[in-house]
Amino acid sequence: MGPAIVAAIAVIVVLGVLNAYVPAMANLAASLGRDGHLPRWFARGAEAGAVPRRGVALVAVVCLGYTAAYFLLRIDLQVLVLVQTSSLVAVYLAGMVAAVRLLPRWTPGWWMACAGVVLTAGLAVLAGWHLVAPAALALVAAAVTIARRIRLHRRGG
């Protein structure tokens, strides 16, 4: 009976996480499309109260890509999980650093952000080489941003 109970709990946890992350990622895709950071085609659904169906489709394609990489390339599942987790740690660390910079100094929120930076930095150290993937994505994002600014500057914008 034990394995069945554990499997049921795992299903509930996975569905709970998917219920939170899929809409969040779909809304992010729609917002990025609206703001010109993804093709404008993804912008539909970015309006308040709208359903970002194209963003949901993008999330599905990314998930299928991970699944295909796992099965076709025989990538170790632990590596995929650790790269994904390390990517989240990188995002959390950036958020905590931003909070330290933005919050009024010496307030309780600022101190909590400082503690968050220290704790999240500890997680980043534990992530080790798995941070290569989010670092590469950050470099690509920076290169795209720089190229876009150069193009706008040349146009006179």
In the numeric block, which tokens belong to residue 116? 């968050």
Please answer whether residues 69 and 80 qualify as being in contact, where contact means their C-beta atoms are separated by less than 8 angstroms.
Answer: yes
Range 128-137 average pLDDT: 93
Q: Considering just the CA atoms, what is the radius of gyration of the chain in Å?
A: 19
pLDDT of residue 81: 86
57-95: per-residue pLDDT in tens? 999 999 899 889 889 998 888 888 898 899 999 999 999
Q: Kindly report the backbone phi and psi dihedral angles of residue 64, in degrees, each rounded to the nearest multiple of 5, phi listed first.
A: -65, -35
pLDDT of residue 42: 96
| H or E stretch at 41 | none
pLDDT of residue 157: 60
Residue type at position 93 = L
Residue type at position 34 = R
The predicted model scores a pTM of 0.71
In the numeric block, which tokens belong to residue 81? 């999980």
